[in-house]
Amino acid sequence: MTEQLRYADAPSTAVSRVIAATPDAIWELVSDINLPARFSTEFKGAEWLDGATEPAVGARFQGTNVHPVADMKWNSECTITACEPSRHIAWEVAGGGGPAATWSFTLEEVDGGTLVTQYCSIGPGKSGLSPAIEKMPEKEHQIIERRLKEHADNMERNLDGIAAAV
């Protein structure tokens, strides 16, 4: 029996690929908060908040998202939690009671280029999934599994786009 996914446990997914480019070249793309808007079916763009103009720990931005199937549109406030140029960038999406999601890119130089990993965890803070899980707690595993699959599909699109752009 497979372990049941629980939102409170902040379940995650990640995708990785070796891309034939240097970490510095890839950093220019993954550190752009609007990069996923070029490739994602859901993320439509972002803008810096509080006068920030580039990633740094503590810098905030607002992202705009749409879910094509659920016919939902929302904005999310994000805070950069890690920023090591040419190595790692991470941000949290604000949610009630903790992050609604945590996202990151990690870059590691390897033979043939750079191993690029994009990671996402959802929860444990309140998000758009919370009402669905509260309404149908018996379907929590399926709701989370479907959402993580949507994120993984968009992350694959991001890596495809990064590979094509460098």
Which positions ≥6 away from 48 have C-beta within 8 Å? 33, 54, 59, 60, 61
Residue 130 in this model has a pLDDT that exceeds 70? yes
Mean pLDDT computed over 126-154: 93
Residue with tokens 């931005």: 61
Phi, psi dihedrals of residue 109, rounded to the nearest 5°: -65, 130
Residue 69 in this model has a pLDDT that exceeds 90? no
Question: Would you list the domain boundaries of the chain?
Answer: 7-165
pTM, two decimals, is: 0.94
Label residue 163 by pLDDT band (50, 70, 90).
very high
pLDDT of residue 96: 87
Label residue 129 by pLDDT band (50, 70, 90).
confident
CATH architecture of 7-165: 2-Layer Sandwich (3.30)
Residue 17 DSSP one-character state: E
Residue with tokens 């965890």: 121
Burial of 123 (0-12, 13-18, 19+ CB in 10 A): buried
Give residue-wise pLDDT tens across range 82-110. 999 999 999 999 988 899 999 999 999 99
Average pLDDT over all residues of the chain:
94
pLDDT of residue 68: 76
Q: Which of 51, 74, 75 is nearest to 62 (CA)?
A: 75
* Radius of gyration (C-alpha) of the chain in whole angstroms: 16
CA distance 26 to 88: 11
pLDDT of residue 2: 62
Q: Which string of DSSP letters, residue by residue, matches 65-107?
A: EEETTTTEEEEEEEEEEEEETTTEEEEEE--TTS-SEEEEEEE
